[in-house]
Amino acid sequence: MNEYLPILIIGAIIGSFSLFFIVAFALVKNKKEDMGFDRNMPDGEILRRLMVYARPYWKSFALALFIMLVSVVYDIASPLIIGRIEELVKERFELSYLFSLVAVYAGLLLVAMVSTYAQAMILQKTGQKILSALREDLFVHIQSLSHDQLNGIPVGKLVTRVCNDTNAISMMFTNILVTLVKNIMVILGVLAAMFALNYALTLMVLCFVPFVVLFTVIFRLFSRKVHRKVKDGTTDINTYLSENLSGIKITQIFNREDRKMGEFLEKSYKLQKAKQNQIFVFGIFRPMVYMLYVSSILCLLYLGGRGYIKDASFLGQTIESWVIVSFYMYVNKFFNPIQTLAEQFNTLQSAFASAEKIFTVFDMEPQLRDEPDAIELETIRGEIEFKDVWFAYKEGEWVLKGVSFHVDPRQTVAFVGATGSGKTTILSLICRNYDIQKGQILIDGIDIRKIKISSLRRHFGQMLQDVFLFSGTIRSNILLRMEDVDDESVLEACRYVNADKFIDRLEKGLDEPVRERGNNFSAGQRQLLSFARTIVHRPSVMILDEATANIDTETELLIQDSLEKMRNIGTMLIVAHRLSTIQHADNIILLSHGEIIEQGSHQELLRLKGRYHQLYTLQYNKMQLEQS
């Protein structure tokens, strides 16, 4: 049978190079087009940055690798033990020796099972710790970004980064990396054991590896496409659902349920087809590899059996029955890791792609930072001054043009003007949500850029037109996790702003549940809760941006009374379209196209007979018509 030798040697050489190709395929840096992602970061840099989070747990990974060696030893030793047991049964040796081998095998199997469980638990716990640290750092970093940066990133994308992408990375730490190491060790160990048993049969097995490589390359080619289509389809349907569930009331009002259902079914069908294609690709790959495995088994049985039955040597080596049995098990243990490695390439690259996206967010430097010499302000009097302030959201498109004004402590100042005149922008600049391009903004005579951002904002209380309430209770929304405020202080704040009028009517009072965005309360009730939230935090400067818009007349009277009380607390800055709500302001500033055109008290501006007088007359006449 020596005529097989040249063919086997050539096939084995090709197979060895192919095997090296498969292992290297999992480790080398991939090109940017892999997995359909636009990669800007080398795999080495991604891995290095990920290892920063894994480094504190290196002892856990080392322990997992040590425990893993036990299961590797089992994978390599078990076929030899089974083969010897077969030989003992066939030759009818002493039962005591047979029982000893069975006991050794059972013990090794039990130890392998325990080690596999221990390894899985260690990796899962360690992976979750790493995932939690990464997710917390990402969330903290997102919170540090400026309003301008957050406005430019879709919320759904940030949610995906914090949740989905971190989960993909978790798989890498809990399963993929250790499994890769284990599979490589099993392949090398099995090959060594096979060569030690019978080099000729080992050469025969290696002849099948080039076909595995071919199928793996083809599998990756098609799997990359189907993964991309499934991901695109999932993103498309999630985006559609998010938008249409938020606007479902509009859909019902215009009776467009059937139309929206048709659009949803179309997107759902595309995702279904993509999923089916994905299942088809994976359904083809495994049977093809399994076919090679079966083919290698058939060749093993033919060549090994032929040599054993004729009681002759095969390529100079005598083949015994227990060798064939051991080889049968080794072939299975040889092909399984190769198949697993091929399938995990995509998962590994997907994890790297998710990490690259996460680190892209990390690499976004916050536009607003504290100056090195920024100071803490324990208290402020509430004096505010704008000195020739110029500001633009986009370069060259000025929203404020040389704005200058002065606000005395505990003074009430109102800003009025048409939409886009710069009223809300002024309030955002005072809290340093954005940085100005020219000029200076002073708080108590100190440039706000010389004050730490957290310290500056701590002295401001903002009440906006669109009140945001978190899921929880009325108490948790008023306190916003302040632990040092008792219920009496909360109730006092509610009474101060007239929020107690409706809270007392609720069954659970302050413990009344608040649903998503507070949709179980009216707009006026939400506004009163925002007033109470502001009062509890005891700000020195209060900002009201259209806080009296979109509310009923009864609630407006309560809010007007609340505003009168709040004027005694500190400096108050108000933006309002309803001029009736700002008549008692100490100073009214009228803006137009980012410039101040008039300012003074209500009576002073009426006597000027200027633009404010025109606006007040129009609103007054409109109100008279509505009442008549």
Q: What is the average pLDDT across 467-481? A: 83
Q: Reduced to 3 states, what is the DSSP secondary structure of residue 463? A: strand
Residue predicted with more confidence, 566 or 448: 448
Is residue 574 a contact partner of residue 582, using CB atoms and an 8 Å limit? yes
Question: How far is Cα 223 from Cα 226, in angstroms, rounded to an integer?
Answer: 5
In angstroms, the Cα distances linking 463 to 248, 274, 385, 428, 476 are 28, 47, 21, 12, 17
Beta pairing class for 397-407 and 412-417:
unpaired
Highest mean pLDDT range out of 3-7, 423-427, 553-557? 423-427
Question: How far is Cα 440 from Cα 37, in angstroms, rounded to an integer?
Answer: 44
pLDDT attached to residue 4: 47
Q: What is the average pLDDT across 237-261? A: 78
Contacts of 130 (CB under 8 A, 6+ apart): 53, 54, 57, 169, 170, 173
Residue predicted with more confidence, 589 or 538: 589
pLDDT attached to residue 415: 92
Which pair of structure tokens corresponds to residue 246?
């938020």
Q: What is the average pLDDT across 37-64? A: 78
Which is nearest to 579 in space by CA: 569, 571, 570, 589? 589
Name the phi and psi angles at 374, rounded to 5. Answer: -65, 145
Q: What is the average pLDDT across 441-465? A: 87
pLDDT attached to residue 389: 93
Per-residue pLDDT of 52-62, as tens digits, reads 888 888 888 88
Angle between helix 199-206 and 257-309 (nearest 10): 150
pLDDT attached to residue 307: 55
Position 457 pLDDT exceeds 60: yes
Give alpha helix (H) positions in 92-208.
95-144, 147-151, 155-160, 166-171, 177-197, 199-206
DSSP state of 30: P
Model confidence at 588, pLDDT cuts 50, 70, 90, reads: very high
Residue predicted with more confidence, 614 or 295: 614
Position 311 pLDDT exceeds 60: no
pLDDT attached to residue 209: 74
Is residue 67 a contact partner of residue 118, using CB atoms and an 8 Å limit? yes
Model confidence at 27, pLDDT cuts 50, 70, 90, reads: very low
Is residue 330 a contact partner of residue 246, using CB atoms and an 8 Å limit? no
Is residue 138 a contact partner of residue 166, using CB atoms and an 8 Å limit? yes
The mean pLDDT of the chain is 78
Q: Is 391 left (phi over 0), alpha (psi -120 to 50) or beta?
A: beta
| Class for the domain spanning 2-33+41-362 | mainly alpha
pLDDT attached to residue 391: 92
Helices then strands, each counted (H, E), the chain: 22, 14
The three-state (H, E, C) secondary structure of 126-158, written as one string = HHHHHHHHHHHHHHHHHHHCCHHHHHCCCHHHH
Residue predicted with more confidence, 569 or 15: 569
Is residue 377 a contact partner of residue 453, using CB atoms and an 8 Å limit? no
Residue predicted with more confidence, 20 or 237: 237
pLDDT attached to residue 198: 76
pLDDT attached to residue 306: 62
pLDDT attached to residue 587: 92
Count CA atoms closer than 13 A to 37's CA, side-chain side.
Answer: 21
pLDDT attached to residue 387: 93
pLDDT attached to residue 1: 44
Which is nearest to 161 in space by CA: 353, 418, 14, 391? 353
Model confidence at 382, pLDDT cuts 50, 70, 90, reads: confident
Residue predicted with more confidence, 185 or 6: 185
Question: How far is Cα 164 from Cα 143, in angstroms, rounded to an integer?
Answer: 19
Question: How far is Cα 167 from Cα 393, in angstroms, rounded to an integer?
Answer: 36
Position 29 pLDDT exceeds 50: no
Question: How far is Cα 616 from Cα 628, in angstroms, rounded to an integer?
Answer: 18
Name the phi and psi angles at 54, rounded to 5. Answer: -85, -25
Per-residue pLDDT of 78-133, as tens digits, reads 777 777 776 666 555 566 666 777 787 788 788 888 888 888 888 888 888 888 88
Residue predicted with more confidence, 560 or 596: 596
pLDDT attached to residue 28: 44
Question: How far is Cα 542 from Cα 413, in angstroms, rounded to an integer?
Answer: 11
Question: How far is Cα 586 from Cα 602, in angstroms, rounded to an integer?
Answer: 8
Please name every residue paired with 442 in a beta bridge, in sequence order, or none if there are none: 385, 447
Domain residue ranges in the chain: 2-33+41-362
pLDDT attached to residue 441: 93
Q: What is the average pLDDT across 266-286? A: 81
pLDDT attached to residue 589: 92
Sign of CA dihedral 566, 567, 569, 570: positive
Beta pairing class for 513-514 and 472-473:
antiparallel
Question: How far is Cα 539 from Cα 571, in angstroms, rounded to an integer?
Answer: 9
74 residue type, one letter: Y
Question: How far is Cα 186 from Cα 201, in angstroms, rounded to an integer?
Answer: 18
Consecutive H or E run containing 13: helix 5-27
Q: What is the average pLDDT across 539-553? A: 74
Contacts of 228 (CB under 8 A, 6+ apart): 35, 36
Question: How far is Cα 596 from Cα 590, in angstroms, rounded to an integer?
Answer: 6
